[in-house]
Structure 1
Amino acid sequence: MVVLVTATGFSTKEDNSYNTVSMFSSEGLDLYYYVPNFDEVEVAIPEIKENYHLFLGKTYVGFKEALGFKESRGDYATINKFGYLGKYQFNINTLKMIGVHNADRFMKDSKLQEAAFTAYTSRNKWILRRDIKRYVGRTIGGVKITESGILAAAHLAGAGNVKKFLRSGGAIGFSDAFGTSIGYYLKKFSGYDTSFIEPNQKAKVRL
């Protein structure tokens, strides 16, 4: 017996460092707690902030959006203090000319407003077709003339006033009630691709 104890290296004397449970006290610990299920936990989903800008370049859509933003900051529902309507700020008489007779419907229908812009631009392109051919590429008053600039200026001032401006070499100008001039629109909206617009003397809104 003595040989066996000696050989195994164990002592018959009690070793408190291993066998005494009092040193592992759980006093003061909260041993009862609840673990919720997955579907009981509210998962905080971080807000996703869009950080991109749609690049339209010098396309026809880019032309429309740039002009609409200048006219009304792109707001289909706006009416200015002079009574001009919608995203592209149409006069009510201009709308009647292109076949829009219900102002309330016009203000509530973005598709109708876009169609009105296309129809009116087609009319202006037909009226100014000879001037476009004659003056595009020239410089008048320090501004290089482009087709899109001419069409934008016609939206601002009417095709007749644009004719006078071009044919007078810029001597006969025009500014709207806010002081915006033909020359400013010729420059600001130059270089867009408006070849999509077909000149049409009798263009009407058709939906």
Structure 2
Amino acid sequence: MRKKIAKFSILPLAAGSIFFSFSTKDAAKLNLENYSTYNLDLEYTVENLKEEIEPDFEISHTAPILGKSYVGFKEALAFKESRGDYKTINEYGYLGKYQFGKGTLKLVGIYDTVEFLNSPALQEAAFYANASRNKWILQRDIKRFVGKTINGVLITESGILAAAHLAGPGSVKKYLRSWGAQAFSDAFGTTIKTYMKRFGGYDVSFVRTEKNARVDFDKLSV
């Protein structure tokens, strides 16, 4: 019968400690007195270590709290779309931080995709213009459905605008007016319901309702 030999290890507990690996046979010969903690100062506490681990620098400012503001809304949406990367192009040709299609960009007056990818200011302006245009198209639906529950999700204005960014305002109209029966999902399987839920409850009153919203290139600080 084959014997099983256990192995033990002594892991380092402090800088300069030695790592040992040995069998049970070797362990029987080990003189543990050589590794005794007798007479060592082991009276460390969190309070005693405080000065040793305290950093040598101070944080002079804190990160902004975006919360449920318009900025919080667009940054949360951008993170979902592209991890906030202005330069990215996905496998289906969608561009930038907010993953715009070329057709949508044309609707807000952008035709040069190279310029678009190289200009964060242009991308931010495009997002606002598109949201403003979608808000105009969906204004009646916003008034009618905000506060209602469809497919278990509370409908909010920000959820509607996020869903319109994903699927287009026409698909959102169909979804709302059919009380969720006419669903939509993109090439990755993301649904209107998902965006309604994930991006609900933000304050998007900053976005004005504008029928023919376009990017104003004269006001861009590129």
Give the TM-score taking structure 1 as reference length.
0.75
**What is the CA–CA distance in structure 1 between the aligned matches of 2:153 and 2:65, rounded to whole Å?**
25
TM superposition outliers: structure 1 runs of 4+ over 3 Å: 46-54
1:146 is aligned to 2:156: yes
**Of the candidates 155, 159, 168, which is equivalent to residue 178 of structure 2?**
168
Decide which of 163, 166, 172 is 1:156's aligned counterpart.
166
Amino acid at match of 1:176: D
1:130 to 2:137 alignment: no
- Give, in angstroms, the shift of residue 65 of structure 1: 0.3
Match of 1:65 in 2: 75
Unmatched tracts of structure 2, length 5 or more: 1-55, 218-222
Distance 2:181 2:157 in 1: 20
Structure 1 vs Structure 2: percent identity of aligned residues?
A: 62
Specify the code of the residue in structure 2 equivalent to 1:82: Y
Counterpart of 1:94?
Answer: 104
How many angstroms apart in 2 are the aligned matches of 1:195 and 1:47?
40
Mapped pair 1:112 → 2:122: yes
SS at match of 1:74: coil
Cα distance in 2 for residues equivalent to 1:187 and 1:93: 26
User: What count of residue pairs does the alignment treat as equivalent?
Assistant: 163
One-letter amino acid of the structure 2 residue matched with residue 112 of structure 1: L
**Per-residue CA distance 1:25-74 (angstroms, 9 max, x = gap):** xxxxxxxxxxxxxxxxxxxxx78899954320000000010000000000
Q: Deviations over 1:100-132 (max 9, x none)?
A: 011000000000000000000000000000000
Counterpart selection for 1:82 from 82, 86, 92 = 92
Say which of 115, 131, 135 aligns to 1:121: 131
After superposition, the Cα gap between the structure-2 partners of 1:61 and 1:49, relative to the gap in structure 1 and judged at 3 Å, is same
Task: Compute the RMSD of aligned alpha carbons.
Answer: 1.8
Deviations along 1:56-93, one digit per CA (max 9) or x if unpaired, are 00000000100000000000000000000000000011
Q: Distance in 1 between matches of 2:200 and 2:115?
A: 32
CA distance in 1, matches of 2:124, 2:89: 16
Residues 1:54 and 2:81 are matched in the alignment: no
